[in-house]
Amino acid sequence: MQIKPYASHHRDAIVRLSLRAWTPVFDSIQSSMDTDVYQAFYPDNNWRVKQQKAVENVCAASDTNVWVAIEDDATVGFIAVKLHSEDSMGEIYMVAVEPDWQGHGIGTALMEFALTWMKEAGMSIAMVDTGGDPGHAPARHTYEKVGFGLLPIARYF
């Protein structure tokens, strides 16, 4: 597996793998949240439309660095990082791995790559946000495996 800088020809593959990877996550969110609150965030269960736009925006953003994981000439994952120089903090803004390739260390490799890059860019702290629902458990496992610690915070709706 190789990690390469994002190029515009990767966009469609990133969008497809992200939507596939996040389908079980959004199913979990929907079953974990109050129905009215979920509907307020995702009317008509339109999370795919919102997430596609979010991925496209991240790939085009000038303040975001994006890399792709390539295996057998296929895009199998990606990671997006933002630097907050004023806080010396790097933020893993978005990460996804193609479901057929999950469990093969690609997410961990992307995270480790991004953490090394942030450190080399002068960041002294790294941050990643994720959900506390069961669908995000694999993501939390990966983040903890590479050294992230949980900040106890609660957000209520």
Taking the chain (157 residues) in runs of 10, the rounded mean pLDDT of each run is 97 97 92 92 91 97 97 96 97 97 95 98 96 90 94 85
What angle do helix axes 137-145 and 106-120 make, rounded to 10 degrees? Answer: 50
What is the predicted pLDDT for the residue at 64? Answer: 97
Alpha-carbon separation of residue 98 from 59, 65, 76, 117 (angstroms): 17, 20, 5, 23
CATH of domain 2-145: 3.40.630.30
Q: What is the pTM of this model?
A: 0.92
Amino acid type, 5:
P
What is the predicted pLDDT for the residue at 157? Answer: 82
What is the predicted pLDDT for the residue at 155? Answer: 82
Q: Tell me the domain boundaries of the chain.
A: 2-145
Alpha-carbon gap, residue 61 to 66, rounded angstroms? 9
Q: Please, how many CA atoms are within 13 Å of residue 52, restricted to the half-sphere of its CB?
A: 8
Region for residue 73 given its phi and psi (left: phi exceeds 0; alpha: psi -120 to 50; beta: otherwise): left
What is the predicted pLDDT for the residue at 44? Answer: 87
What is the predicted pLDDT for the residue at 153? Answer: 86
